[in-house]
C-alpha cells in the first residue's frame, strides 16, 4: 500500500460536481492499493499516518501528530483526514513512456482495503472523510508548509 500524505489547512473532493468529503485542518491522504496488500498493510499504514509527527509544536518543530493535534483541540470541529483512492500511485514508469498498472490491486480487492483503511481511521476516533472509489474526482486542497510525505507499507 502506498500513500501520499499532505498536511493541509483544508481539503475537499467532488464527484460529478457534488461534494463527497471535506475537512478543515488535517491530512489529505491519497491511497493506492497493491495486488499483494492485505489488512495488515492497511493497519500499519493507518497507525503510521495517525501518529506521523508532521505538525509544528510551540517551537515550530515538526513534533506533533494528528493524534496530538486532535487531543489538544478536542472542541474544534473540522480536524480530520480526507482519504482519496488513487490507483495511479501503483504505476510503474521505469520502462517506456506509458506506466504499467500491473502492481495495482484489482478493483474489488482495492475497494475492500480502501474501505477497511477508512474504517480503521474512524474506529481510532478520528474524523475521516473520503472520495468515491473508482470515480473521476476533483480534489481541492491547501497544503500547509508545504508538507508532503510518501509512505509505502513495503
Distances (CA, A) of 63 to 28, 67, 125: 19, 11, 21
CA–CA separation, 32 and 145 (whole Å): 24
Which member of 25, 55, 87, 126 is catalytic?
A: 87
CA dist 45 and 148 (Å) reads: 15
Catalytic residue from among 6, 86, 117, 126:
86
Of 88, 123, 134, 148, catalytic: 88
Per the annotation, the verdict on 88 as an active-site residue is: yes
Q: Rounded to a whole number, what is the distance in angstroms from the first to the last CA of the chain?
A: 7
Residue from 23, 25, 31 nearest 7 by CA? 25
Grid cell 504499467 in the structure block, residue: 100
Q: Tell me which DSSP letter residue 38 carries.
A: -
CB 92 within 8 A of CB 86: no
Active site residues: 86-88
Amino acid at each position: 500500500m502506498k500513500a501520499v500524505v499532505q498536511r493541509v489547512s483544508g481539503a475537499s473532493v467532488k464527484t460529478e460536481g457534488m461534494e463527497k468529503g471535506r475537512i478543515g485542518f488535517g491530512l489529505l491522504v491519497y491511497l493506492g492499493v497493491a495486488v499483494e496488500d492485505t489488512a495488515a498493510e492497511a493497519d500499519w499504514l493507518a497507525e503510521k499516518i495517525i501518529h506521523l509527527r508532521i505538525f509544528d509544536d510551540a517551537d515550530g518543530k515538526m513534533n506533533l501528530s494528528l493524534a496530538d493535534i486532535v487531543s489538544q483541540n478536542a472542541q474544534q470541529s473540522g480536524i480530520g483526514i480526507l482519504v482519496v483512492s488513487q490507483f495511479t500511485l501503483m504505476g510503474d514508469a521505469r520502462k517506456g513512456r506509458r506506466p504499467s498498472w500491473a502492481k495495482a490491486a484489482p478493483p474489488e480487492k482495492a475497494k475492500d482495503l480502501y474501505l477497511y483503511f477508512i474504517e480503521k481511521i474512524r474506529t481510532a476516533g478520528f474524523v475521516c472523510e473520503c472520495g468515491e472509489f473508482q470515480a473521476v474526482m476533483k480534489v481541492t486542497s491547501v497544503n500547509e508548509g508545504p508538507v508532503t510525505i510518501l509512505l509505502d507499507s513495503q
